[in-house]
Amino acid sequence: MKIYVVGIGPGNSLYMTPEARQAIEESQVVVGYTLYVDLVKDLTEGKEVRATSMKQEVDRCKIALEEALQGKTVAFVCSGDAGVYGMAGIMSEVAEAHPEVEIKTVAGITAACSGAAVLGAPLIHDFAVISLSDLLTKWEIIEKRLRLAAEGDFVICLYNPKSKKRHDYIDKAAEIVAKVQGWDLPCGYVKHIGRDGEYSKICTLQDLLNNDDIDMFTTIFMGNSTTKVINGKLVTPRGYHLDK
Ligand code: SAH
């Protein structure tokens, strides 16, 4: 009676931790959103696979619980890290009445880290991760977090920057940050990290406006006031003193 809530990393098996691989291998059942289950299909042969569509998060947890209550070991797969906009929290809530089911979170490489590595070293110092999805958070709160993160001179990493319904949220976010950091702020974005078609771009805050490259498979990085481009890499200095 065990559920591993597994962060599989951004998509490529090279980014998956040995612990995540082991948890999937050890499980009889694999539960998850279709795309993520597909990303680990090399590991699911001979296992019961229960894939669901995008918006059925709670149902997915119930399926995992149901299977675990039958005495099975279940791997509930999430992209990136299971605890960063992942399913680790909701899984524990759904299973609250069943303390006999062990729930183990298996860490993964979140898009902030894998994307930062593609761009260079934009995070390095204090940074804030903000999701632009207002499905579970009010837009006013998101705006406040953006404003205060910019005022605090945090590097900002944005998840869920755009969807069909929320196509202009990234523009609104850029406008909020521009008021504090200016339109020339060094920024970058990475699409499909670790997956087919990975694409990255270093740009300015201005370039994020009306940008058709940006979609729901993109992670965006907005620098702080010291972030710069060094030999084609986006770098936030940590503040070490350099004698050049
Ligand atoms: N648990 C995941 C995040 C899920 S929220 C993690 O830790 O990475 C979904 C958002 O994450 C996407 O809209 C996108 O902004 C980001 N993301 C996740 N995987 C990505 C990938 N492979 N490439 C680019 N962005 C990704």
CATH number, domain at 41?
A: 3.40.1010.10
Tell me what the mean pLDDT of segment 196-209 comes to: 97
Q: Are residues 82 and 150 in the same domain?
A: no
Structure confidence at residue 25 as a pLDDT band (50, 70, 90)? very high
Q: Are residues 67 and 140 in the same domain?
A: no
Q: Are residues 58 and 124 in the same domain?
A: no
Residue 169 pLDDT:
94
CATH label of the domain that carries residue 145: 3.30.950.10
Ligand 1 and 133: CB distance under 6 A: no
Distance CA 172, CA 134 (A): 13
Distance CA 8, CA 80 (A): 6
Would you say residue 98 has pLDDT above 70? yes
Encode pLDDT of 9-24 as tens digits: 998 889 999 999 999 9
Q: Are residues 119 and 204 in the same domain?
A: yes
Q: Which residue in 219, 7, 3, 6 sits closest to 108, CA to CA? A: 7
Q: Are residues 136 and 123 in the same domain?
A: yes
111 CB-contact burial (10 Å; exposed 0-12 / middle 13-18 / buried 19+): buried
- Predicted TM-score (pTM) of the model is 0.95
Ligand 1 centroid from CA 33, angstroms: 13
Residue 121 tokens read as: 């070293």
Tell me what the mean pLDDT of segment 89-118 comes to: 97
Q: Are residues 137 and 92 in the same domain?
A: no
Q: How many domains does the chain have?
A: 2
Q: What is the CA radius of gyration of the chain?
A: 19
- Among residues 109, 126, 151, the one where a domain terminates is 109
Residue 171 pLDDT:
96
Ligand 1 and 186: CB distance under 6 A: no
| High-pLDDT (> 70) share of the chain, % | 100
Residue whose CA is closest, atom 5 of ligand 1?
A: 85
Ligand 1 and 192: CB distance under 6 A: yes
Domain assignment of residue 21, yes or no: yes
Residue 244 pLDDT:
67
Question: To test the ligand 1 pocket, which listed residue (218, 220, 221) has its Cβ within 8 A of the most ligand atoms?
Answer: 218
Ligand 1 and 160: CB distance under 6 A: yes
| High-pLDDT (> 90) share of the chain, % | 88
Domain assignment of residue 158, yes or no: yes
Domain assignment of residue 240, yes or no: no
Ligand 1 and 64: CB distance under 6 A: no
Q: Are residues 134 and 215 in the same domain?
A: yes
Range of the domain at 179: 112-235
Q: Are residues 142 and 212 in the same domain?
A: yes
Q: Are residues 13 and 86 in the same domain?
A: yes
Ligand 1 and 32: CB distance under 6 A: no
Would you say residue 240 has pLDDT above 90? no
Termini Cα distance of the chain: 59
Residue 57 pLDDT:
86
Question: To test the ligand 1 pocket, which listed residue (215, 216, 217) has its Cβ within 8 A of the most ligand atoms?
Answer: 217
Encode pLDDT of 60-94 as tens digits: 999 999 999 999 999 999 999 999 999 999 999 99
| Average pLDDT, rounded, for the chain | 95
